[in-house]
Amino acid sequence: MAPQVVPPTSDFDWSKLAFDLYPTAGYVKYVNKDGQWGAAEWVEEPYVKLHVGSVALNYGASCFEGLKAFRHEDGQVKLFRPQENAARMNYSAAAISMPEVPEEMFLEACHKAVAKNLHLVPPHAPHGSAGSMYLRPLYFASGAQLALVAPSEFTFIVYVTQTGSLYGSAGGKAPAVDAFVIEDFDRAAPQGTGTYKLAGNYGPVLRHMAQAKKNGYPITLHLDSKTRTFVDEFSTSNFAAFKKASSPDSTPTLVVPKSESILRSVTTKSLMDIAKSFGWNIEHRPLKFQEVVDGTLEEVFACGTAAAITPVRSITYTAPGGALQKVSLGDGQNAGPNTLKLLAELTGIQAGNREDKFGWTWPAEGVDASKA
């Protein structure tokens, strides 16, 4: 039988969709007690009841994921690479002494959360430019424990919200933003937790992002904490760029920094696969910030689920001596041609306008409201 499809509700003004949290029908919850996972619970309010002594609240044992579902032209809704998020959540969970969430349970939770909120998945538009449904798997140590030992009760949640784009990238276009290098704060220590999507990594960055935004920089960049000479990533997303072409018809080279402190982005991984399929070169290696400054690179962009691709038109950093220096990149408006090609292919696959030759969209038959 064909999956049951629910069209976008007419009770929501889809033209006003922003990057925000909206009311939904509810969320999915599972509890692990004494090593056993309970059955899925459907919760119709956006709250969770927690013991004041929960290890998540007191000691920060909490991690999360972010992925999206898109409506295709035929009305079907599909998620983008949820298996990758399942694997990464378990990678994060292990770092904070939490048990594995079986992939099957992770997928079931994602399917249920979307299926029950299918009316809130925005209308189809090529490249997902009308928005998408954002899924937020959240996994934390809900058990109460005063002693600093590995906890024994855990809660896994998947909630969703309809969402617009983060920095305004949509419709195969991507307006460029100004970036600022944070110098007075280390996001991730060498051998620290930067590579895990832990809740605790984000709270301390907020005031630095807010300060930069106030100064006119919507996006902030972190260099490696040890030497401050290599590029790690942006506070919200990975860093990528192209090597400046030696001639207009030379094969593009996508450069992606390698560092033990970087969050392993599903978007970056996908873009590297797409670039490879175009026959382009990939350099995945430690990347000196000097290569940004001296013009070795062009078409610098940020990548992640929230914004897909956000081109960066300038990077401001503190030069030795303390003066601010600004490197200008690209035409100051839109993304470069190689970046736009990557963006069109990625968002085209997500929205079902381009052939999914990698098998990234899930489930193959579409989310089924009758199986919610």
Ligand X SMILES: *Cc1c(COP(=O)(O)O)cnc(C)c1O
Q: Is 92 in the site for ligand X (CB under 6 A)?
A: no
CA 177, CA 90: separation in Å to the nearest integer?
33
Binding letters toward ligand X, positions 281-320, x by CB under 6 A: -----------------------xx---------------
Question: Which parts of 31-70 interact with ligand X (CB under 6 A)?
Answer: 66
d(CA 345, CA 309): 12
Q: Which is nearer to ligand X, 345 or 368 (CB)?
A: 345
Query: Are the beta carbons of 333 and 175 closer than 8 angstroms?
Result: yes
Q: Which is nearer to ligand X, 205 or 245 (CB)?
A: 205
Which string of DSSP letters, residue by residue, matches 269-326? HHHHHHHHHTT-EEEEE--BTHHHHTTSEEEEEEEETTTEEEEEEEEEEEPTTS-EEE
- Among positions 197, 208, 243, 313, the unique one binding ligand X when judged by CB under 6 A: 197
Decide if residue 138 touches ligand X (CB under 6 A).
no
- CB-count burial class (<10 Å; 0-12, 13-18, 19+) for 146: exposed
From 15-23, 99-107, 141-149, 264-272, span contacting ligand X (CB under 6 A): 264-272
CB of 197 to ligand X, least distance (A): 5
Question: Would you say 129 or 267 has its CB closer to ligand X?
Answer: 267
Q: How far is the CB of 144 from ligand X (least distance, A)?
A: 28
Q: Is residue 137 at the binding interface for ligand X, with CB under 6 A as the rule?
A: no
Q: Is 111 helix (H, G, I), strand (E, B) or coil?
A: helix
Stretch (H or E) spanning 179: strand 177-181
Residue 168 or 200: the one with the smaller Cβ distance to ligand X is 200
- Over the window 219 to 258, marking each residue x when it contacts ligand X by CB under 6 A and - when it does not, the resulting string is --------------x---xx--------------------
If phi > 0 it is left, if psi is from -120 to 50 it is alpha, else beta; for residue 119 that is alpha
Q: How far is the CB of 266 from ligand X (least distance, A)?
A: 3
Q: Give the dihedral of Cα atoms 113, 116, 118, 119; nearest 10 deg.
A: -130
User: Segment contacting ligand X (CB under 6 A): 150-158, 170-178, 224-232, 259-267?
Assistant: 259-267
Which two three-digit tokens encode residue 45?
A: 């309010």
Q: Does 265 sit near ligand X (CB under 6 A)?
A: yes
Quick check: 263 binds ligand X (CB under 6 A)?
A: yes
Does residue number 79 form part of the binding site for ligand X (CB under 6 A)? no
The residue among 24 and 220 lying less far from ligand X, judged by its C-beta, is 220
SS (H, E, C) 253-279: EEEEECCCCCCCCHHHHHHHHHHHHCC
Q: Report how many residues bind ligand X under the rule CB under 6 A.
A: 11
* Strand 308-318, strand 253-257: pairing: unpaired
Dihedral angle sign, alpha carbons of residues 329, 334, 336, 341: positive
Q: According to CB under 6 A, which one of 86, 266, 343, 346 is a site residue for ligand X?
A: 266
267 binds ligand X (CB under 6 A): yes
Distance CA 326, CA 316 (A): 4
Asked if omega into 363 is within 30° of 0 (cis), the reply is yes
Question: CB of 182: closest distance to ligand X in angstroms?
Answer: 13
- Nearest distance in Å: CB 257, ligand X: 12
**At closest approach, how far in Å is the CB of 237 from ligand X?**
5
Structure tokens at 206: 């907020």
Residues near ligand X, by CB under 6 A:
66, 197, 233, 237-238, 263, 265-267, 304-305
